Amino acid sequence: MGTSYQAVGWNRQKKIYDWFIFGFCVTYLGIFISLSSIFNSQVTFETLLIRSTSTLAALLLHVILSIGPLTRINTKFLPLLYNRRHLGVTMFMIAAIHGSFSIMQFHSLGNVNPLVSLFTSNTRFDSLPGFPFQALGFFALVIFFLMAITSHDFWLHNLSPKVWKTLHMFVYAAYFLVVLHVMLGVIQFETNPMFVIILLIGTAILIILHLAAGTKEVHIDNVKFDMETDGFVKVCDVNDIEEDKAKMFCIGKERIAVYKTQGKLFAVNNVCKHQNGPLGEGKVLDGCITCPWHGYQYLPHNGQSPPPFKEKVSTYDVMIGGVTVWVNPKPYPEGTERPGATIAIPRPVDEKISESLILNN
Partner 1 sequence: MNKSEFYIGWMPKAPGGFRRLVRKYLLVLLPIVVALAVAIALSQKKFDTGSFEFGKLTEVKGIYSRTPVPNLKIVNGKDIWGNYSYITVPLIGYGKHGADGVIAEMEKDKNKSFEQRQLTLKGTLLYNDGKLLMQIDANDKPLVNVGDMASQDLLPHVEDLGIQTIKGEIVDPKCYFGVMKPGQGKPHRDCAIRCILGGIPPVMQVRNNKGEANYYLIVGSSGEKMNEAVQDFVAEPTELQARVVKYDDWVVMYVNKEKMHHISFFSLIGYDTQPATCGKKCLN
253 touches 241 (CB < 8 A) = no
Does residue number 68 form part of the binding site for partner 1 (CB under 8 A)?
A: no
Question: Should residue 121 be labelled a site residue for partner 1 when binding is judged by CB under 8 A?
Answer: yes
Choose between 35 and 173: whose C-beta lies nearer to partner 1.
35
| Cβ at position 356, least distance to partner 1 in Å | 39
Which of 3, 4, 111, 222 lies at the binding interface for partner 1 (CB under 8 A)? Answer: 111
Q: How far is the CB of 40 from partner 1 (least distance, A)?
A: 6
262 contacts partner 1 (rule: CB under 8 A): no
Closer residue to partner 1 (CB): 86 or 165: 86
SS3 230: coil
- As a whole number of angstroms, the distance between CA 68 and CA 30 comes to 28
User: Is residue 125 close enough to count as binding partner 1 by CB under 8 A?
Assistant: no
Rounded CA gap, 50 and 229, in Å? 64
Count of CB atoms situated within 10 Å of the CB of 222: 8
Rounded to whole angstroms, the Cα distance separating 291 from 280 reads 8
Which residue stretch of 76-84, 144-152, 162-170, 313-321 sits at the interface with partner 1 (rule: CB under 8 A)?
Answer: 76-84
Q: Does 96 bind partner 1 (CB under 8 A)?
A: no
Residues 285-314 binding partner 1 (CB under 8 A) are 285, 290, 292, 294-295
H or E segment at 132?
none
161 vs 295, beta carbon nearer partner 1: 295
Tell me if 110 contacts partner 1 by CB under 8 A. Answer: yes
Q: Is 21 in the site for partner 1 (CB under 8 A)?
A: no
Closest approach of Cβ 63 to partner 1, in Å? 7
Q: How far lies 109's CA from each of 46, 121, 200, in Å?
A: 15, 14, 36
- Each residue 158-177 as x (binds partner 1 by CB under 8 A) or -, in order, gives --------------------
Please select the residue that binds partner 1; options are 53, 90, 134, 328, rule is CB under 8 A: 134
Question: Which of 301, 261, 255, 302 lies closest to 279 in space, CA to CA?
Answer: 255
Give 39-89 as a DSSP string.
HSTT--HHHHHHHHHHHHHHHHHHHHHHHHHHHHH-GGGHHHHHTHHHHHH
Q: In the complex, what is the shortest distance from the CB of residue 107 to partner 1, in angstroms, rounded to a whole number?
A: 6
The stretch near partner 1 (CB under 8 A) out of 36-44, 137-145, 250-258, 330-338 is: 36-44
Q: Which of residues 179-208 bind partner 1 (CB under 8 A)?
A: 184-186, 188-192, 194-195, 198
On whether the CB atoms of residues 277 and 287 are closer than 8 A, the answer is: no
Whole-number Å distance between alpha carbons of 222 and 236: 15
With CB under 8 A as the rule, give the number of residues binding partner 1: 72
Residue 133 makes contact with partner 1 by CB under 8 A: yes
Task: Identify the CA nearest to 181 among candidates 234, 131, 215, 145.
Answer: 131
CB of 352 to partner 1, least distance (A): 32
Among 8, 19, 124, 310, binds partner 1 (CB under 8 A): 124
**Contact partners, residue 182, CB within 8 Å, separation at least 6:** 58, 195, 199
Output 194 or 359, the one with its CB closest to partner 1. 194
- Min dist CB 324 to partner 1, Å, is 25
Q: Which is nearer to partner 1, 281 or 317 (CB)?
A: 281
Q: Does 99 bind partner 1 (CB under 8 A)?
A: no
Choose between 146 and 186: whose C-beta lies nearer to partner 1. Answer: 186
Window 318 to 337, contacts with partner 1 (CB under 8 A): none
In angstroms, the CA 107 to CA 134 distance is 11
Beta carbons within 8 Å of 94's beta carbon, 6+ residues apart: 25, 53, 56, 57, 60
CA 298, 299, 301: angle at the middle one, nearest 5? 135
Q: Measure the CA–CA gap between 282 and 257, rounded to whole angstroms.
A: 10
Q: Which of 3, 4, 123, 222 binds partner 1 (CB under 8 A)?
A: 123
